[in-house]
């Protein structure tokens, strides 16, 4: 494995900008994480407390029908709370964005989605069986009566169908078969599904209306969620886009199948974007502009410029190559915690594949480090496909970054994150060779999910502390 080291110059101007100390940034990130974690657990424990206060525990021991109904109430309460939390995660609320970061949000989004979906179906089954047992009815007859006779149940049925649609299309096998644009549109039905599925509980559910505390909690949480969606997915992006008047400044080819887009606007620094973060971008270039696409910053933001780079692999990315200077840009963000805020180590080890190299370059441009204290390993199928090669060369030349390029198809044996040319290498040994003093390094990983999983496995096996490993995920 060769290490490329070129003469060392001075860092880029924006790297020396005044910024909080590492300890202050880390403390700030920890407080955001604490706040987000407390918010999630407080709401979950509160709904369980509502069930206990409503006699839920006692009902478990009074008979088969009451047992089923009590368990059904509990699963309904928790499912409703998780469903609203799922919508809040989709709404890009700053508390969760800053508290969990993009990768943490991705994991939580999947976990919360699975449990809210499973508990919602369990709630329907248990309540149907419980009511049927009480009334001496066939469960299918009872289910039909729920739908046609109970207030709000027609809406709830439609909402449940939408939630099931979103859950099914979010499974990995189905997700691979869908274009991003189609999947994203279907995913937005989660908002509508939650909006239709929950009102029947606010109108008729005993745990929602039995006490003033319960009524205030559920109506308040429902309204807060609706306001958050409107505010952070609609109003804030519109206001920011109008204020900063972002427009395409240049579009250049980047590698064999990539493109880099630079955009300029007014007062960009007030957005507070950090290297490594991402925005959801909408380019006002004609039909289809409403479909937003997440792209990470591929250069450290300056006072008036933002830069993204992408591989041309689908409709959303391919249209980037056809953008014209002057095209207006609508943005949501900045989002994500893939930044230097949580950094503890003096040294930096960056590992990226394909388009995942882009945010790593922006981090290297924006973070402070001495010559020789930063290493970046890049993986591409071919050398010609590499993105941000000129920026990487500048980092090697001007800031003493060590760049290791390992092009080639992924190895079929051994460490699968390495190329076939290094198939005999042990991934753990390779990482220890790159960073022998594992306790001094902060590690950033960005690339396709399966590839990144293999890297993370070897990083942990090599002894890198989990709190110093940061990953950026490409998809939710």
Looking at the domain assignment, is residue 9 inside a domain?
Answer: no
Taken as a whole, the chain contains a residue count of 476
Same domain, 251 and 220: no
Predicted confidence band of residue 422 (pLDDT cuts 50, 70, 90): confident
Same domain, 276 and 366: no
Looking at the domain assignment, is residue 3 inside a domain?
Answer: no
Mean per-residue pLDDT of the chain = 82
Same domain, 37 and 152: yes
Q: How many CB atoms lie within 10 A of CB 152?
A: 18
> Which pLDDT score, from 0 to 100, does residue 180 have?
59
Among the candidates 292, 313, 335, a domain finishes at 335
Decide: 235 and 218 in contact? Cβ < 8 Å: no
Looking at the domain assignment, is residue 7 inside a domain?
Answer: no
H runs (alpha helix) in 302-372: 315-318, 357-366
- What CA dihedral angle connects 425, 430, 431 and 432, to 10 degrees? 130
**Alpha-carbon 227 to chain mean position:** 21
Tokens representing 41?
């657990």
Q: Is residue 400 predicted with pLDDT exceeding 70?
A: yes
Looking at the domain assignment, is residue 298 inside a domain?
Answer: yes
Q: Which of 406, 401, 402, 404 is nearest to 380 (CA)?
A: 406
Q: In total, how many domains does the chain have?
A: 3
Looking at the domain assignment, is residue 304 inside a domain?
Answer: yes
Q: Which of 38, 36, 110, 123 is nearest to 78 (CA)?
A: 123
Rounded CA gap, 77 and 137, in Å?
A: 25
Asked if omega into 334 is within 30° of 0 (cis), the reply is yes
Same domain, 182 and 309: no
Looking at the domain assignment, is residue 8 inside a domain?
Answer: no
* Listed range (163-172, 369-378, 433-442) with the worst mean pLDDT: 163-172
Give 8-47 pLDDT, tens digit per residue: 333 343 433 445 666 676 787 788 888 888 988 898 888 8
Helix axes 94-135, 64-90, angle to 10 degrees: 160
pTM for the whole thing? 0.75
Burial bucket for residue 466 (CB in 10 Å: 0-12, 13-18, 19+): exposed
Which H or E run includes 351? strand 347-353
Same domain, 123 and 60: yes
Give 307-363 pLDDT, tens digit per residue: 999 988 766 677 888 899 999 999 988 888 888 887 888 899 999 999 999 999 999
CATH number for the domain that contains residue 251: 2.40.30.10
223 contacts: CB under 8 Å, gap ≥ 6? none
Same domain, 259 and 227: no
Looking at the domain assignment, is residue 202 inside a domain?
Answer: yes
SS3 annotation, 270-311: HHCCCCCCEEEEEECCCCCCCCCEEEEECCCCCCCEEEEEEE
CATH number for the domain that contains residue 106: 1.20.120.1770
Among the candidates 214, 239, 264, a domain finishes at 239
Same domain, 302 and 398: no
Print the domain residue range for 429: 345-472
Same domain, 178 and 291: no
Looking at the domain assignment, is residue 5 inside a domain?
Answer: no
Q: Which of 448, 404, 438 is nearest to 422 (CA)?
A: 404
340 contacts: CB under 8 Å, gap ≥ 6? 22, 25, 274, 275, 276, 363, 366, 367
The β-bridge relationship of strands 247-253 and 347-353 is unpaired
Same domain, 233 and 261: no
Rounded CA gap, 296 and 277, in Å?
A: 6
Same domain, 221 and 302: no
Among the candidates 239, 261, 293, a domain finishes at 239
CATH number for the domain that contains residue 383: 3.40.50.80
Same domain, 233 and 250: no
> Which pLDDT score, from 0 to 100, does residue 15 have?
38
Give 175-226 pLDDT, tens digit per residue: 666 665 566 666 666 666 666 766 666 666 666 666 778 888 888 888 888 8
> Which pLDDT score, from 0 to 100, does residue 4 have?
33
Same domain, 349 and 304: no
218 contacts: CB under 8 Å, gap ≥ 6? 80, 201, 202, 208
Give 222-272 pLDDT, tens digit per residue: 888 889 889 988 898 899 888 999 999 999 999 888 999 999 999 888 888
Q: How many CB atoms lie within 10 A of CB 52?
A: 12
């Amino acid at each position: 494995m060769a290490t490329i080291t070129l003469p060392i110059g001075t860092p880029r101007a924006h790297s020396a900008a005044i910024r909080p100390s590492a300890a202050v940034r880390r403390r700030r990130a920890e407080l955001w994480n604490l706040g987000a974690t407390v918010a999630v657990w407080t709401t979950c424990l509160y709904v369980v407390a509502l069930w206990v206060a409503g006699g839920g525990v006692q009902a478990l021991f009074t008979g088969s029908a009451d047992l089923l109904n009590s368990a059904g109430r509990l699963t309904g309460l928790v499912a409703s709370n998780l469903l609203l939390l799922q919508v809040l995660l989709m709404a890009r609320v700053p508390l969760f964005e800053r508290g969990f970061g993009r990768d943490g949000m991705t994991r939580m989004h999947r976990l919360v989605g699975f449990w809210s979906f499973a508990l919602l179906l369990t709630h329907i089954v248990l309540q149907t069986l419980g009511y049927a047992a009480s009334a001496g009815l066939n469960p299918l007859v009872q289910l039909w009566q729920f739908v046609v006779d109970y207030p709000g149940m027609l809406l709830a049925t439609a909402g449940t169908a939408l939630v099931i649609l979103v859950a099914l299309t979010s499974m990995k096998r189905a997700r691979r078969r869908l274009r991003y644009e189609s999947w994203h549109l279907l995913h937005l039905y989660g908002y509508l599904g939650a909006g239709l599925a929950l009102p029947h509980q606010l109108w008729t559910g005993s745990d929602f209306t039995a006490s003033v505390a319960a009524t205030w909690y559920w109506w308040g949480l429902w309204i807060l969620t609706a306001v958050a969606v409107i505010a952070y997915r609609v109003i804030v992006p519109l206001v920011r886009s109008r204020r900063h008047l972002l427009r395409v400044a240049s579009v250049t080819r980047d590698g064999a199948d990539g493109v880099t887009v630079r955009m300029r606007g007014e007062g960009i620094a007030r957005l507070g974007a950090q290297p490594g973060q991402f925005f959801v971008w909408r380019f006002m270039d004609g039909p289809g502009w409403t479909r937003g696409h997440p792209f990470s910053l591929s250069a450290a933001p300056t006072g008036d410029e933002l830069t993204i780079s992408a591989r041309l692999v689908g409709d959303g990315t391919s249209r980037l190559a056809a953008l014209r200077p002057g095209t207006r840009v609508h943005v949501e963000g900045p989002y994500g915690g893939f930044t230097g805020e949580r950094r503890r180590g003096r040294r930096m080890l960056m590992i990226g594949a394909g388009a995942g190299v882009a945010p790593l370059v922006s981090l290297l441009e924006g973070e402070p480090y001495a010559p020789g204290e930063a290493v970046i390993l890049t993986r591409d199928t071919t050398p010609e496909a590499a993105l941000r090669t000129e920026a990487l060369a500048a980092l090697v030349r001007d800031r003493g970054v060590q760049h290791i390029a390992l092009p080639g198809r992924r190895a079929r044996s051994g460490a699968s994150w390495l190329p076939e040319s290094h198939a005999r290498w042990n991934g753990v040994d390779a990482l220890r060779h790159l960073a022998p003093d594992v306790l001094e390094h902060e590690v950033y990983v960005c690339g396709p999910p399966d590839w990144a999983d293999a890297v993370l496995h070897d990083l942990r096996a090599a002894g890198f502390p989990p709190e110093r490993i940061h990953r950026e995920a490409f998809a939710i």
